[in-house]
């Protein structure tokens, strides 16, 4: 039997040892990286770019952003649309990586 352990995040805060009087300045607040503050802005920029591009049909496309990593999901009509959506996502400021999981599904005729 194999056991796998996954540590999702362990943070240990350490501070300096101050005088016994307790009059030491508190530690400065931790800074949040810019990409964590702006995931919504990244998503908005990508959605606007996709909607403005006539080569990409945006009705069945989802844009997810977490920590600057963009995931594109849904269906597009052809390889060109998939490539265009990926290029738009990569060009948005703050994007660290793009996972283009779009599926190619040509429009069906009735």
The reported pLDDT for the residue numbered 28 is 65
The reported pLDDT for the residue numbered 105 is 85
CATH T-level topology, domain 34-104: 3.30.1340
The reported pLDDT for the residue numbered 60 is 83
pLDDT by 10s per residue, the chain, length 110? 333 333 333 333 334 444 555 566 766 655 545 544 589 999 999 999 999 999 887 668 999 999 999 999 999 999 999 999 999 999 999 999 999 999 998 776 55
The reported pLDDT for the residue numbered 27 is 66
**Packing angle of the helix pair 39-52, 79-91 (nearest 10 deg):** 140
Q: How far is CA 20 from CA 14, 74, 90, in A?
A: 17, 60, 53
The reported pLDDT for the residue numbered 8 is 32
Instruction: Name the token pair of 29.
Output: 């607040």
The reported pLDDT for the residue numbered 26 is 66
């Amino acid at each position: 039997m194999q056991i796998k352990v996954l540590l999702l995040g362990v943070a240990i805060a350490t501070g300096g040892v101050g005088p016994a009087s307790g009059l030491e300045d508190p530690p400065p607040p931790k800074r949040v990286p810019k990409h964590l503050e702006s995931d919504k802005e990244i998503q908005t920029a990508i959605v606007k770019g996709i909607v403005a591009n006539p080569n990409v049909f945006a009705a069945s496309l989802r844009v997810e952003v977490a920590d600057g990593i963009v995931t594109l999901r849904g269906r597009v009509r052809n390889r060109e649309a998939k490539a265009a959506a990926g290029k738009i996502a990569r060009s948005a400021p703050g994007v660290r990586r793009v996972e283009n999981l779009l599926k190619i599904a040509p429009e069906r005729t009735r």
